[in-house]
């Protein structure tokens, strides 16, 4: 999900997303290296008049062009597996946010604060104020503290949905009868938008996700 005039990935709001961006740049560097090498070798073969039609085999060359791709695959696999395990890492959370998906809205509750329960519906276009993103704003935003480990529990009451927040690099399915969990950790305050990323019915496009991240002191004041 891109913002207006945005050409690249959204700025990271968590350490995990930062690692994903680094991994993306790492992959792009390797891909550019491969494409450039193939282009140079192809151009050399096309424009080089010095050829040897009696060359039948080259064992050393065959070993080299087998080892180089294998090494490149290792350079891709190691950081990818590291990120895969980081996704499932769960540090002792300070609080738990429960997300329940419905057709076509989200319900939020805080395990440590039983009185905090609310539904989050998309704000109709006719009710938007100037400068508010269309189809992304909601009537009730979920609020979380900055620099705090938060456990996210996600499930659904009807069909499969998907709770997605691009600035965190997170996408977790909301499946009826199943409880999925992830860790949230925000490194900067702000209002962050996401959308349901699983086709869930006629109004799939109209169940946005909005998280408002504020300093812990303001969050405590909000609770009181």
| In a shared domain, residues 64 and 156 | no
Say if residue 113's pLDDT is above 70: yes
- Name the band, by pLDDT with cuts 50, 70 and 90, for residue 35: very high
Q: What is the Rg, in whole angstroms, of the alpha carbon atoms belonging to the chain?
A: 24
| In a shared domain, residues 100 and 198 | yes
What is the widest separation between alpha-carbon atoms in the chain? 85
Pair of tokens at residue 51: 């050829």
| In a shared domain, residues 201 and 148 | yes
Cα end-to-end distance, the chain, whole Å: 34
Distance (Å, whole) CA 97 – CA 143: 10
115 occurs within a structural domain: yes
pLDDT of the residue at 90? 77
Q: How confident is the model over 33-51, as a mean pLDDT?
A: 86
10 occurs within a structural domain: no
Contact predicate 96/153, CB 8 Å: yes
Distance (Å, whole) CA 102 – CA 11: 29
| In a shared domain, residues 158 and 194 | yes
How does pLDDT run across 124-133, given as a tens digit for each residue?
Answer: 888 888 888 8
- Name the band, by pLDDT with cuts 50, 70 and 90, for residue 1: low
* CATH number assigned to the domain comprising residue 148: 2.60.40.420
In which domain, by residue range, is 192 found? 95-223
Pair of tokens at residue 177: 């009868």
Residue % of the chain over a pLDDT of 90: 42
| In a shared domain, residues 42 and 121 | no
- DSSP symbol at 159: S
8 occurs within a structural domain: no
| In a shared domain, residues 79 and 190 | no
How does pLDDT run across 53-109, given as a tens digit for each residue?
Answer: 777 777 888 898 899 989 989 988 998 998 888 887 777 888 999 999 999 999 999
Does the pTM surpass 0.75? The reply is yes
Q: State how many domains the chain has.
A: 2
């Amino acid at each position: 999900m891109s913002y207006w005039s945005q050409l690249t990935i959204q700025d990271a709001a968590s350490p995990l997303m930062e690692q994903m961006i680094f991994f993306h740049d790492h992959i792009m560097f390797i891909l550019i290296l491969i494409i450039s090498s193939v282009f140079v070798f192809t151009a050399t073969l096309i424009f080089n008049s010095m050829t040897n039609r009696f060359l039948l085999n080259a064992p050393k060359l065959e070993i080299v062009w087998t080892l180089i791709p294998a090494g490149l695959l290792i350079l891709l696999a190691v950081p990818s597996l590291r990120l895969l395990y980081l996704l499932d890492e769960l540090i002792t959370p300070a609080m738990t946010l429960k997300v329940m998906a419905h057709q076509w809205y989200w319900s939020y509750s805080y395990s440590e604060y039983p009185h905090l329960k609310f539904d989050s519906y998309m704000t109709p276009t006719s009710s938007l104020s100037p400068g508010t993103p269309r189809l992304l704003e909601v009537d009730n935003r979920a609020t979380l503290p900055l620099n705090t480990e938060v456990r996210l529990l996600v499930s659904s009451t009807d069909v499969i949905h998907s709770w997605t927040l691009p600035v965190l690099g997170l996408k977790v399915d909301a499946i009826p009868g199943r409880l999925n969990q992830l860790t949230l950790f925000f490194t900067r305050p702000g209002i962050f938008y996401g959308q349901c990323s699983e086709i869930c019915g006629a109004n799939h496009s109209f169940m946005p996700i909005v998280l408002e991240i504020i300093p812990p002191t303001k969050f405590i004041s909000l609770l009181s």
